[in-house]
Every structure is written in structure tokens, then in C-alpha cells.
Amino acid sequence: MINLYPTHIESISLHRVGNKNKNEGIFLSTEPFGLNDETTGLLKEYFLKPFREKEENYFKLTHEVDVEFNEIHKIATDIFKDPDCIHDRSKKIATHLFEQSNHPHIKSGEVYVAYLTGILLNNEKVDAIGIFKSEVKHDFLQFEEKGNNLDLVIQQGININKLDKGCLIFNSNQEEGYKVLSVDSNRYDAKYWLENFLGVDALADENFYTKNYLKFCQNFAKDVVLPAEDKQQEVLFMNKAVNHFAKNDAFEESNFLNEVMENPELIPEFKHYKVEKGPKYSIEDVSSFEIANKAVSDARKKIKNVINLDTNIQIKLNFINSDSAEKFVEKGWDEEKQMYYYLVYFNKEQKS
């Protein structure tokens, strides 16, 4: 889990990269940018807000031969060894980005390279290198007094409420390719940032396995539990699955199946489904791992505990204790109406 609030920006270097395909150039600043209290506060929010709002999907820097040949890995290692060299190395980062900027869709923009300290990663303080890029320009209105009139001037600038691209390279797991977080608001050039520039792959850590296993369970519930039983059992299965993850520090598949699988006949179906679909989620050979609480919380928010009925009625099973649905919600068949029904027990209606 990451805490970015205590982060301090030690330095920032600003450069501009164009699109090589359009014969646009590159501008490298001679000196680092001079920070003050106002710019530091604004830039910190501009750079880090997207990472606080996004799931923690970690990457690692890679290379087909060895990670040491990854250009960003080499530069990051130099900087972490000697943070004072960051401005000089920031020029290499901007130049490397410029070399990848040859697709006609890639926009020119400003590149910010920052050295960050005080970040809490899994409750440990770490330094990080932040690489950010602003691309999309917006029109802004400015007003000037001219004599007895107020004049309107249209200018272009950056919307500091939306970062176009950014990554954080943490001084952690150097030999494996460092821990990396990335954001990209523009989907038209996804390979340009992650693959061509950074050269990253998903980091298979506890967050990765927790998130992917729960996604796998969600699809099993939809593809197997729902057709075999009903929507209520699909919702129950996922609630039990998430609750199992939430109350345990480590995952062990046999314990999970014995606790969560209400119908034991579905256990062979689960194992067969894992053989068939497991590679899609990179869990085919995974049966135990440490559980990441943040990934469980994120998964819980996305699971829809709603039963939609063809009579334009919704039943929302909004609870953490999944036993409530079994104790207080019953499904049956009405012979007279020739319709299914849900019977819900309660003591009193709660105020909304």
C-alpha cells in the first residue's frame, strides 16, 4: 500500500519533446526549475493526485535480454546512486522519450522529471523518480484593464487537474526492475508510454495475484455459478469469496474452496475452469500467496450485489456478512402466478 501525502519534491527538471514524425524538435533546459512554495504545492497535486485515485497496479522495468539493458532502468539506477545528477540524467530521459515519439498520433508536450522523497510504500519510506508529461492544451480566458474597458484575452495552457501521462519509479526491487506505477489519460498511444518508452511488464506481487484471482472468481461466478444455479447464488459466491480474502492474510486455495463453495459439486468445475481460463489471469500455477488488502477493497467496490428482475425491480444485497442473504432472502416458485419470487425478512425499515 502506498501513501503519497508525505511526499516532498526535492527537484524538478523541465523539458519539451516534439513529434519526430512531424519534424518537431526537442528542447532541453540548461538548469533545473526553481521551486517555491506555491509551485511546489500545485505541482505536487498535479503529479500525484492521479496515483491516489488509481488502483495500485505495479509494473517492473524489463528487457528481452536483461533488465540492466533497459534505458530507463540504467538512468534510474544512476539517479538513485547520486540524486544530485538528476538534472543531467533528466535530459537523457527526455531524449529517450523523444526517440520513441515517431507515431503521427503522439502529441508534443512538456516533460517533468522530479526527485521525490518521503513516500511511504508498505509503511517504509522510499525515494522515487517521477516522470510526467503534459500534452493536451486548453483555452483559458484572461482579462485586462484597458483604459475604461475590460478586455478579454484567450490563452492556451495546461489543466493542472488532469495529468496526461506519468510514472513513479520507486527505489525498491532494483534487481527485479524496480517497482513502477503508471497513469495514462490518453488511450490513443498506449504502447508509446508503457512499452516503447518505459519498457515495463506487470509486477507479479501480492497485489497482482489478489486482484487477478478475484477477477477470475468473478468470471467463474458469471460463467459457471449463475447458469448452474441462479443470480442469488452468484452474488453469494462472490461475497463469500471477497470476505474470505478480507479476513485472511494469506491465500490457500484448498481452504478457500472448502469455505466458499456452497455446492461441493462445483469444486471440480472450478478446477477445470482454472485450467481453461487461469492463463488469462496468470494464476494457472498459483494456489497460495500473500493477500493485498488494498486489492480486496478495490474489488469489493466493483462487485455488483444486485439482482435485476424482469418486473423492473432490483434487489440490492448490500452487506459485508454474506450469511444475511441466506438467512433473510428466500427464492421460491408460485404455482398460481407461475412466477418466481424472492421472500425478504426484516424487523424494520431503515431510514435512507
> Tens of pLDDT along 73-112?
999 999 999 999 999 999 999 999 999 998 888 899 999 9
CB 214 within 8 Å of CB 299: yes
185-216 core/surface letters (b: 16 or more CB in 10 A; e: else): ebeebeebbbebbbbbbebbbbbbbbbbbbbb
Q: What angle do CA 222, 300, 351 make, to 5 degrees?
A: 110
> Tens of pLDDT along 248-291?
999 999 999 999 988 888 999 999 999 999 999 999 999 999 99
> Tens of pLDDT along 201-241?
999 999 999 999 999 999 999 999 888 878 888 888 888 89
CB 109 within 8 Å of CB 14: no
Provide the 10 A C-beta neighbour count for residue 314. 8
pTM of the entire predicted model: 0.80
**DSSP code at position 65:** S
Q: Report the C-alpha gap between 208 and 57 in whole angstroms.
A: 7
Which pLDDT value is given to residue 245? 94
Range 154-159 average pLDDT: 88
Phi first, then psi, for residue 67 (nearest 5°) are -60, -25
Residues 6+ apart with CB under 8 A from 89: 75, 78, 79, 113
Beta partners for residue 183, in sequence order? 166
Provide the 10 A C-beta neighbour count for residue 316. 11
Beta partners for residue 34, in sequence order? none
CB 160 within 8 Å of CB 138: no
Range 292-305 average pLDDT: 82
Which pLDDT value is given to residue 208? 93
Q: What angle do CA 28, 33, 38 make, to 5 degrees?
A: 145
Please name the residue ranges forming H helices in the chain: 37-53, 71-81, 86-100, 190-191, 206-220, 226-228, 231-247, 253-260, 266-281, 293-302, 323-328
**Cell numbers given for 241:** 469469496
Q: Burial of 89 by CB count in 10 Å (0-12 exposed, 13-18 middle, 19+ buried)?
A: buried
**DSSP code at position 22:** G
Q: Report the C-alpha gap between 123 and 214 in whole angstroms.
A: 25
Among 153-167, 232-246, 291-305, which stretch is predicted with the lowest mean pLDDT?
291-305
Which percentage of the chain shows pLDDT scores above 70? 96
